[in-house]
Amino acid sequence: MAKIFVSTFPFCRFDQEPLRILKEAGHEIFINPKSRKLSPTEVAELASDCNGIVAGTEDLLPLVETSEALRIIARVGVGLDSVPLELCKSKGIKVAYTPDAVTPAVAELVFGLMLDLLRKITPADKELRSGGWSRPYGKRLANSTVGIVGLGRIGFTLAKMLIGFGVRFILIHDISDVSEKIRDLRKSGGSVSEVSKQELLSESDLITLHVPKDPSTVGLISSPEFERMKSSSYLINTARGGIVDEKALYSVLKEGRIAGAAIDVFEEEPYRGPLATLDNVLLTQHMGSCSEDCRADMEREACEDIVRFFSGQALRSPVS
């Protein structure tokens, strides 16, 4: 029997099966008692003597540095910027993640944010509640040029959704070779072009980010990038906080140099920053994965890999 700490929040909000999987395997389970995202120090303290952790996006560096008991990290999600992979490798700590379960939920959220931004749905709701009735005009998504930065699982799924919706032009920028994926998208009937980052920024009506957070992507969108964007364009970030320079974003939104933005992820979460004072930005709560089915699948897959590890079986989705 192993001692397992569940740091991710929420956990088993919709489906109790992930918890049942751990219990039936006979493990001792401790669940995040704070009902919020834990700080790095809190994770290190609460999981100090645990053998495994079912983790969200919490920074695990202090835990990995100090723990002598930890043997496996099972990430509920796909991002690994919160996991010190090299240190885990040196200490013999296995890492697993759930890269596929999250994909449709994030892609659907981005699609919804695009429609909200273009058709001014949230501003219209706010205006009506305050007594107004201006019937604001918006733009059609199908008539827009959408720029996708990063054509991984989520970016590719989103592109297929956009093609099905009849979006006129899709621009792709990725540092990897995505030529085969682009050919697949074109076979689906889409007008898809691979372009430079600069061309994507200057030509897109909507720009959506789908890259991992690492040293090469921190500050990927900052003042120079905003200068290239059209004044009528919108930025969407559901990838990771820190990829967009929040101070630069605040400045361009406050000055009206771009039309607006939708931000689901932040440098510090929960977010309590100045973007919340602006009317031309939609702010959501790092909820890209939070559809009932996708969240349940992510939690179940992470717990199954915990059970596999302690029963001597191969991990389903190993990172290291």
- Mapped onto helix, strand or coil, the DSSP state of residue 174 is coil
* Residue among 109, 211, 111, 156 at smallest CA distance from 221: 211
Phi, psi dihedrals of residue 142, rounded to the nearest 5°: -60, -25
Residues 6+ apart with CB under 8 A from 141: 114, 115, 118, 162, 165, 167, 206
> Which positions are catalytic?
240, 269, 286
Token pair, residue 258, equals 């771009």
DSSP code for 221: B
Strand partners, 30: 5
Burial of 95 (0-12, 13-18, 19+ CB in 10 A): buried
Spatial separation of the C-alpha atoms in residues 118 and 35, rounded to whole Å: 34
Residues 6+ apart with CB under 8 A from 179: 194
Spatial separation of the C-alpha atoms in residues 119 and 206, rounded to whole Å: 13
